[in-house]
Amino acid sequence: MDYVLGLGDDALVAAQRLAQWCARAPELEEDVALANIALDQLGAARLLLTYAGELEGAGRDEDALAYLRGDREYRNCLLVELPEPDFAVTMAKLLFLSAYQKLRYEWLAAAGDERLSAVADKARKESAYHLDHASLWTVRLGDGTPESHRRMQDAVDRLWPYTHELFEGDHAALRPQWLSLVTAVLDEATLTRPADGGWAPGGGRQGLHTEHLSYLLAELQVLHRAHPGARW
Amino acid sequence: MNVYDVVAAVVDPELRVVTIADLGILRDVTVDGERVTVTITPTYSGCPAMDVIRADIRQALRSAGYADPEIVTTLRPAWSTDWITDDGRSKLAAAGIAPPGPSRGPIALTLGVRCPRCGSPNTEELSRFGSTACKALWRCRACAEPFDHVKAY
């Protein structure tokens, strides 16, 4: 169940962060794009959380899992919960996350669990499209003006340590493929790939999060906590 | 009208010119006595129109005398734009929405989109994301008209 929750929570928290750009993105088309990507993530999150609830067998549905768990019960990676003070951070995050999700969904689509495989088979195509979008922006900003280059490189450097957590445990074998996807984009964007071997924070999969997740969940859950069982 | 035709005639709430059968999201209709079971599949994982589609199917069946149908959602085989029928493609084009090209291959090609107004192949992508999850925004360089394009997926 924790495995499926990890996938679902990654998607749910990423959706919430992306939705925070709504009406604030640098241009109208980007507003629509980020909301669309958030919707794809939310769609995958709903399917995955529903499945996680069924695996648990305690009667919790997608809403119970999304709205009524505390931060210690969330299993998302730290990368998705980090705040996005700059558009370049959003794009670096989306680049790292979508490359990872694409590889992981492709792997799951071919793996043994029929239910997960069906969800992943749909989501992998959506992730590939997100990756395309993040790649275009990374190149545009990295290979842009001195200011956009500086901010894009800064975002890549800041987030890089958090990418190690994505490949903990069973998925270590995916990192070389991920590196080749990401490095090709960074090269084209004239950005420097940070060196490995430094600080590698983790703990998200065990429920040990940064303080940023608590604030994010407060906003995500406030309505449901104030009005339990509220429905549209 | 038989039961299948009743369900097949339900119009997609976001692309009002095509039916759910034209779009390829209606997968199956079975009748067991009074009990009708309809199987549908989402276009995108997060397609927000699914709830409305379910409600519209219920409404159509109720009007035809079938109460309380069961509506099942399946993810397999996964929907792609290749499921849109030829009839559906013509209806989209006639409504000024450029239909998708074939989605085969690891990444679908979006080259060669023709303007649904004047037919010119001289078009450009304005935004990779459009008014709904399944569309992108394009513009014709020949007649200068912006138009929606159902992206190959």
Residues in chain B closer than 8 A to A136 (CB atoms):
128
| Count of other CB atoms within 10 angstroms of residue A44 | 29
pLDDT, position A105: 97
Q: Pick out chain A residues at pLDDT < 70.
A: none
Residues in chain B closer than 8 A to A128 (CB atoms):
106-107
- Return the exposure string of A7-16: e unless at least 16 CB atoms fall within 10 Å of the residue's CB, then b: bbbbbbbbbb
Q: H or E segment at B127? A: strand B123-127
| Interface ipTM | 0.85
Residues in chain B closer than 8 A to A126 (CB atoms):
44-45
Beta strands in B11-122 (DSSP E): 26-32, 35-40, 70-73, 97-98
A103 falls within a domain:
yes
Residue A171, domain extent:
2-226
Token pair of B75 as six digits: 């993810």
**Cβ(B73)–Cβ(B41) below 8 Å:** yes
User: How far does Cα A134 stand from its chain's mean position?
Assistant: 12
A144 falls within a domain:
yes
A133 touches chain B (CB under 8 A): yes
pLDDT, position B111: 61
pLDDT, position B110: 52
Which residue in A40, A46, A118 is closest to B133 by CB distance?
A: A40
Residues in chain A closer than 8 A to B79 (CB atoms):
122
CATH number assigned to the domain comprising residue A216: 1.20.1260.10
- Going from the N-terminus, what domains does chain B have, and what CATH number goes with each? 3-73 (3.30.300.130), 85-150 (no CATH)
- The interaxial angle of helices A114-142 and A87-109, nearest 10 deg, is 150
Q: The whole model's pTM is what?
A: 0.93
Residue A179 one-letter amino acid:
L
pLDDT, position B33: 85
Q: How many residues belong to chain B?
A: 153
The Cα of A71 is separated from the nearest Cα of chain B by a number of Å equal to: 24
pLDDT, position A230: 83
A232 falls within a domain:
no
pLDDT, position B105: 53
Q: Choose, out of B14, B43, B44, B45, the residue to mutate when testing the contact with A (most A CBs < 10 Å).
A: B45
Number of CB pairs < 8 Å for A and B?
64
Print pLDDT tens along chain B (153 aa): 799 999 999 999 999 999 999 999 999 999 998 899 999 999 999 888 999 999 999 999 999 999 889 999 999 999 999 999 999 999 999 999 999 877 655 555 556 799 999 999 999 999 999 888 889 999 999 999 999 999 888
Q: State the Cα–Cα distance between residues A100 and A112, nearest whole angstrom.
A: 20
Please name the residue that has the structure tokens 């340590």: A161
Residues in chain B closer than 8 A to A121 (CB atoms):
75-76, 78
Q: State the Cα–Cα distance between residues B52 and A94, nearest whole angstrom.
A: 30
Phi-psi region of B21 (alpha: psi -120 to 50; beta: other; left: phi over 0): alpha
A55 falls within a domain:
yes
Which residue in A119, A126, A132 is closest to B44 by CB distance?
A: A126
Provide the domain count of chain A.
1
